[in-house]
Amino acid sequence: MGLSNASEDLSSEMEVDAFRRLFPLRYFERHLAESIRPDGRPLGKARETSIFLGAVASANGSALVKIGSTTMLTAIKMEVMTPSLESPDEGCLAIDFHMPPICSPIVRPGRPAEASPVVSKQLSDTISSSRMIDLKELSLVGGKAAWMAYLNAAFSIMQDIYCLDADGALFDAALISAVAALSHLQIPAVAMNDDGKIVLVSGEDGQKPVNKEKRKLTLRSIPFSLTCILHKNYILADPTAEEESIMETHVTIVLDTSGQLISLYKPGGPALAYTSAIQDCVGLTGQRVKELKSYLDKENSAMEVVV
Amino acid sequence: MAGKGGATPATYSPSPTTNRKKKPPIFKEDWVRPDGRGFHQCRPAFFRTGAVNAASGSAYAEFGNTKVIVSVFGPRESKKAMMYSDIGRLNCNVSFTTFATPIRGQGSDHKEYCAMLHKALEGAIILETFPKTTVDVFALVLESSGSDLPVVISCASLALADAGIMMYDIVASVSVSCFNKNLVIDPILEEEIGQDGSLMITCMPSRYEITQLTVTGEWSTTKINEGMQLCLDACAKLAKIMRSCLKEVASDSQE
């Protein structure tokens, strides 16, 4: 009796796995008809999200973000540059998104993954469109000291985002990670040495201080995003890699904390994006923004307590 | 807008001072290591398997401030361009993040690390168990703080175990630096810069076999023997830590 029961259970489990592998679309649609997903989530719910600031000790700002299994590590290094002639009183922000081969079976060493430049461009556009950062704040011009008149320098924020585990919704995780790292960023105290170069303040003679202490960057309205899948009459929020590969219509909506639409990205797909569907996605994204804002505030408060 | 985003002007990092690049003072009797360790004491080691969900096997390792993450994929189909092979293939890749070193983007070109990782692991993996297929080992150094390659090798063997690849034994690796006539184990970045020579051992501790031995600089025979013994002892201790890490995962999954 025990043996037959065990074999029955095992065979039914194997049947489910086989069905999932052979007929993935029908497998998912069976779940959708019951308003649930294979991992047990309701349709409009995002996966568990965690934010950890200060993951990289040598960086000026860093953050590790996980949404479900998707993991993003962001680190920021501050560098010094000569501003361009068009905008002499502004610094700049450069964002690079990397998908190393450790994060997914389909990424190979050598040439960058297909998704990498797409996400990179999306991130740059989103952060510049949202005007989250005032680039003038990065300038090192305009001090009161007389010798400062000769100074022509500005900070450059070099931000690198590494995907450590790719399990869907890469842009969402990358954006949260980038934003969290910028909120953790400490602009270092720098001085000008005798050669006219900018160096870190180390208390040596011959240094003229440019800014006297470390300070945080002022962030204006912060953008957050949510990716949804449109499939027939269903809307699935925060898809996994498996869901993304099976269902083809993705919509990514970015809102900032003041409720303004920053970006809407829909790269093709067979399902038509009716107004009602887009409005539903915007609604889901609005809820997600509030949720993520509270996570980020909580994490920043914890950091301040520690410091 | 496009103009700003376009060509990024040349930048440089505001490093503390150029003077610090000088060689640290020559070894003296009262010399103390920068992080307060004894000469024959390794940095604290931390291992965790299952760091990357998308991989067949993965592991994360920390040795002090050196942080490494390794993913294993496969055994999977080899590329069609490759000739038939009745034993399995091993493919290794080691890369660094741009922020791994104090100066952004510098010192991350270690192309020989891929070949060295391959040689270190090849002797320990039973390649006959997966003919015609390839096992890919990808390593990413998140933070570099000295002795990166030994950490990568140890972490990679743990990732292979996590993936269920059959091996003769786990592979542990430790390196030692030579200052004049004195040996310092598991050097950090500052110590590596000023070393006279280095010696790295990769071994299978249970079988007491060495899969790789790398020596740079000038070493006398007695010094090599001393260094090797130092490393082998450290590898045995490291292997215990690695085994306990694997056992933890096994017991957790049983529960």
Pick the CATH number of B45-253 from 2.60.120.620, 3.30.230.70, 3.40.47.10, 1.10.3720.10: 3.30.230.70
User: Which of residues 19 through 58 in chain A touch B, CB cutoff 8 A?
Assistant: 56-58
Place of tokens 């957050």: A224
Q: What order of strands is seen across the sheet that includes strand A190-192?
A: A198-200, A190-192, A208-211
Kindly state the average pLDDT of the residues B50-77. 91
- Whether A303 has a pLDDT exceeding 80, the answer reads no
CB atoms within 10 A of CB A199: 20
Q: Where residue A205 falls among pLDDT bands split at 50, 70, 90?
A: low
Distances (CA, A) of A72 to A146, A293, A305: 45, 18, 24
pLDDT for A14 equals 74
What is chain B's mean pLDDT, rounded? 82
Chain A interface test: which of B58, B71, B96 (most A C-beta within 10 Å): B71
Regarding the domain with residue range A41-305, which homologous superfamily does it belong to in the CATH classification? GHMP Kinase, N-terminal domain (3.30.230.70)
Of B52, B76, B99, which has the smallest distance from its Cβ to A58's Cβ?
A: B99
What is chain A's mean pLDDT, rounded? 83
Least trusted range by pLDDT, from A46-50, A74-78, B76-80, B112-116: B76-80
DSSP secondary structure letters along B23-91: PPPPP-TT---TT---TT-PPPEEEEE---TTSSEEEEEEETTEEEEEEEEEEEEPPTTSPP-SS-EEE
* Amino acid, single-letter form, for residue A143: G
| Under 8 Å between Cβ of A80 and A155 | yes
Of B52, B65, B136, which has the smallest distance from its Cβ to A103's Cβ?
A: B52
Kindly state the average pLDDT of the residues B15-32. 52
pLDDT for A3 equals 52
Kindly state the average pLDDT of the residues A181-189. 87
- Whether A63 has a pLDDT exceeding 90, the answer reads yes
pLDDT (tens digit per residue) in B132-182: 888 999 999 998 888 899 999 999 999 999 999 989 998 999 998 988 778
Distances (CA, A) of B162 to A57, A62, A81, A106, A293: 28, 29, 45, 20, 36
pLDDT for B80 equals 67
Kindly list the domain boundaries of chain B, sorted by start residue. 45-253
Which residues in chain A have their CB less than 8 angstroms from residue B54's CB? 69, 103-105, 165-167, 241
| Under 8 Å between Cβ of A29 and A44 | no
User: How far is residue B252's CA from residue B255's CA, in Å, rounded to a whole number?
Assistant: 5
SS3 content of chain B, % helix, strand, coil (to 5): 30, 30, 40
pLDDT for B163 equals 94
Nearest chain A residue to B72, by CA? A102
A296 vs A208, higher pLDDT = A296
- Whether B236 has a pLDDT exceeding 90, the answer reads yes
User: How far is residue A168's CA from residue B51's CA, in Å, rounded to a whole number?
Assistant: 16
User: How far is residue B231's CA from residue B147's CA, in Å, rounded to a whole number?
Assistant: 13
Name the residue among B169, B244, B167 with its Cα closest to residue B206.
B169
Kindly list the domain boundaries of chain A, sorted by start residue. 41-305
- Angle of CA points A133, A139, A145, to nearest 5°: 145
Paired with A190 in beta bridges are A200, A211
Which residues in chain A have their CB less than 8 angstroms from residue B104's CB? 77, 79, 158
pLDDT for B3 equals 35
Rg (chain A; Cα; Å): 24
Contact yes or no for B54 and A167 at CB 8 A: yes
Judge if ipTM > 0.95: no
**Nearest CA distance, B200 vs chain A (angstrom):** 25
Kindly state the average pLDDT of the residues A171-175. 95
Distances (CA, A) of A85 to A3, A88, A152, A170, B6: 80, 5, 11, 36, 14
